[in-house]
Chains A and B, each alone.
Chain A
Amino acid sequence: MDSPDRTHFLADLKPGGKYEKIVGIFRKNSSAVRIGVFDKEIIYSLAEVGVKWIAHCGAGYDKIDILACKEKDISVSNTPGAVDDATATTALYLMISSLRQFSKAERDVREGLWKSRLSSANAFDMTGRTLAILGLGGIGMRLAELAHVFPMRIVYHNRRKRDDVPDWCEYFPEDRLNEMLGITDVLSIHVPLRKETEGFVGDKMIRALKKGAIIVKTARGKVIDEDAMIEALEDGHLGSVGLDVHPNEPKLNPRILELPQVTLLPHVGTATFDSQKNMELRALNNLRDFLVKGRGIDVVPEML
Chain B
Amino acid sequence: MPRVMICGDLVWAHKECEEMFKGVADIVVMDSSNRADFLTNLKSGGKYEGIVGLYRHNISADSIGVFDKEIINALVPSVKWIAHNGAGYDQIDVQACKENGIFVSNTPGAVDDATATTALYLMISALRQYSKAERDVRAGLWKSQLRSGNAHDATGRTLAILGLGGIGMRLAELAHAFPMRIVYHNRRKVEDAPAWCEYFPAERLDEMLSIADVLSVHVPLKKETEGLVGEKMIRTLKKGAIIVNTARGKVIDEGAMIRALEDGHLGAVGIDVYPNEPDVNPRLFEFPNATLLPHMGTETCDSQKKMEIRALTNLRDFLVKGKGSDIVPEMTPKSRM
Contact = CB atoms under 8 A, between A and B. Distances in A.
Interface of A: 85-86, 89-90, 92-93, 96-97, 99-100, 102-103, 105-106, 108-110, 112, 114-115, 118, 120-121, 123-127, 145-146, 149-150, 249-250, 252, 257, 263-268, 271-276
Given A125-B303, A150-B174, 15 more contacts: A93-B125, A93-B130, A96-B121, A102-B121, A105-B296, A106-B292, A109-B280, A114-B294, A125-B114, A149-B174, A150-B117, A249-B142, A266-B133, A268-B130, A271-B146
Given A90-B128, A106-B292, A115-B296, A273 B142 contact: no
Contacts of B134: 103, 106, 263-265
Contact of B292 (A96, A99, A109, A264): A109
| A-B complex: 8 closest residue pairs judged by Cβ atoms | A250-B142, A114-B278, A149-B177, A266-B137, A109-B294, A115-B294, A266-B143, A125-B302
Contact of A273 (B113, B151, B280, B293): B151
Nearest to B155: A85
B148 interface: yes
Interface in B267-322: 277-278, 280, 285, 291-296, 299-304
7 contacts: A85-B178, A123-B301, A149-B173, A266-B141, A266-B146, A273-B150, A273-B152
A249 B142 CA distance: 8
B153 interface: yes
**Contact size range, B:** 35 or more
Interface of B: 11, 113-114, 117-118, 120-121, 124-125, 127-128, 130-131, 133-134, 136-138, 141-143, 146, 148-155, 173-174, 177-178, 277-278, 280, 285, 291-296, 299-304
B137 A264 contact: yes
A203 B301 CA distance: 29
Q: Tell me the interface secondary structure of chain B in the complex.
A: helix
A285 B154 CA distance: 25
A271 B117 contact: no
B270 to A, nearest CB: 10
B301 A271 contact: no
Q: Tell me the interface secondary structure of chain A in the complex.
A: helix
B295 to A, nearest CB: 7
A100 B118 contact: yes
A62 B278 CA distance: 47
A299 B48 CA distance: 76
A274 B293 CA distance: 27
A22 to B, nearest CB: 27
B280 A126 contact: no
Contacts of A257: 138
A244 to B, nearest CB: 9
Nearest to A127: B113
A93 B11 contact: no
A180 B17 CA distance: 36
Nearest to A275: B153
B227 to A, nearest CB: 23
A108 B294 contact: yes
A166 B125 CA distance: 29
Interface centre among A102, A110, A115, A276 (most CB of B within 10 A): A102
Interface centre among B118, B131, B149, B153 (most CB of A within 10 A): B153
Contacts of A93: 121, 124-125, 128, 130
Contacts of A115: 278, 294-296, 299
B285 A271 contact: no
A29 B114 CA distance: 38
Contacts of B280: 109, 112, 114
Contacts of A127: 113
A126 B137 contact: no
Contact of A96 (B120, B178, B277): B120
A272 B296 CA distance: 27
A96 B285 contact: no
